Amino acid sequence: MGAYLIRRTGLLLLAFALAATILFVVLRVLGNPVFALISVGATEADIAAAAARLGVDRPLYVQFGDYLAQLATLDLGQSFTNRLDVGDEIARRLNVTLPLTLISFALAVVIAVPVGFFAAWKSRTWYGATFSALSQLGGAIPAFWVGILLVSVLSLGWRVFPAGGFPRTDWEDPGAALYSLTLPVLAIAIVAGSDLARYVRSATLDILGQQYMRAARASGQSFATALWRHGVRNAVVPVISILAIMLSTTFVGAVVIERVFALPGLGDMLLVAIREQDFPSIQGILLFSTALVLLFGFAADILQRLIDPRLRDTLSGNRRARAAA
C-alpha cells in the first residue's frame, strides 16, 4: 500500500504539472492581456509600456520560469486589472462557492441513495421504472435550465425565495446566507442527484444478482440483513469513484450556476477575468479547480483500497509476479 501511495502521489503531481503547463501555453496562444488594458487609439509606445508593466514583453520561457517559481511557493500572482492577490481573492470567493458545492452534493446524495436503491429493488414494477425514468430525465437537463425554471416558479411566481444575490454581510447571518443559496442548491442537487441515482441503481442491481446474496438468503438471512452484511460493502467500492466524479462535477456546476443567481463566487470572478483577459486570475481559478478534481480522484482511489482488500491483494500479486519473472 505504501508503494502504491507513493506512485499515486507522483502521478497526481505529474498530472497537475501537465495541466499547469497546458493552461499557460493555451492562454498565451489565445489572447494578449495588453489589449484589455489600453484604450482605443493607443500608440505603439503605450502598448509597449503596458506590455512591460504586465511582464508579457519577455520571452515565453522566462515568463514560464517565473510562473513555475510562483507555483512552487503557492503564489498565484496578482491580478492584471485590480492588482489584488489572486490567492486571497479565490479564498474570499470560496465563502460562496464551497458551501454551495458541499451542501448541493450532500443533498444530491440524500436524494440519490434512496431513489437509486428503490428503483433497483422495484425494477420490475411500474413505479420502479418510473423512478428510473425520472432520474434519467433529471440527469439530462442542464443545471442552469433547472435554475431558471426554479426562479420562474419559486421566485418570480410564488415569491418564496430570492431570485439571486448574496448578503453583503457574508456569513455573519447564516440564516440569510443559506436562504439566498436555497434555489442554486436545489438546481445543482436535482441534476447531480439524478445522475448519481442511476449509478446507485446500477450498482444495487449488480449486487442483488450476485451469488453470495442468493446464498445469504438461502441460509435464512432476511433481505435487509443480507444486503447490509454482504451487499453494502461491495456496492460502496464502485460508487466511491462515482462520488468523486460527482463531487467534481458539482463543483464545476456550482461555478456555472453562480452566474444564473448572481452569486459573488468563483464563477463570477472567472467570467470577469476572461472578459478582461486577466491571465493570473484565470490561471489561478482553473489551477485551483484542477487541483480539487485531481485530489478528489486521489482520495477516491486510496479510500477504495482501504475498503476493499481485493484491490490490495491484486497489487501485491502483481508485484510478486513481476519479482518471479
Mean pLDDT by 10 residues, the chain (325 residues): 84 92 86 74 80 83 88 87 90 93 94 86 81 80 88 90 88 92 93 89 82 82 77 75 86 86 90 85 91 90 78 56 51
Radius of gyration of the chain (CA): 25
Residue 92: the pLDDT is 92
φ/ψ (deg, to 5) at 243: -60, -40
Distances from the Cα of 143 to the Cα of 8, 163, 165, 250, angstroms: 33, 15, 18, 10
Distances from the Cα of 313 to the Cα of 6, 29, 162, 212, 316, angstroms: 17, 47, 53, 20, 5
Mind listing the domains of the chain with CATH numbers?
2-72 (no CATH), 87-324 (1.10.3720.10)
Residue 11: the pLDDT is 92
Residue 310: the pLDDT is 67
> What 3-state class would DSSP assign to 78?
strand
Strands (E), 146-211: none
Block residue for cell numbers 489584488: 84
Using an 8 Å Cβ cutoff, are 269 and 93 in contact? yes
Within the chain, how many helices (H) and strands (E) appear? 14, 0
Using an 8 Å Cβ cutoff, are 246 and 4 in contact? no
Spatial CA neighbour of 106 closest among 250, 232, 298, 242: 250
Residue by residue, DSSP assigns 241-294 as HHHHHHHHHHHHHHHHHHHHTT--SHHHHHHHHHHTT-HHHHHHHHHHHHHHHH
Residue 320: the pLDDT is 52
Q: Which three cell numbers stand for residue 15?
A: 498530472
> What 3-state class would DSSP assign to 85?
strand
Using an 8 Å Cβ cutoff, are 70 and 77 in contact? yes
Kindly report the pTM of this predicted structure. Answer: 0.84
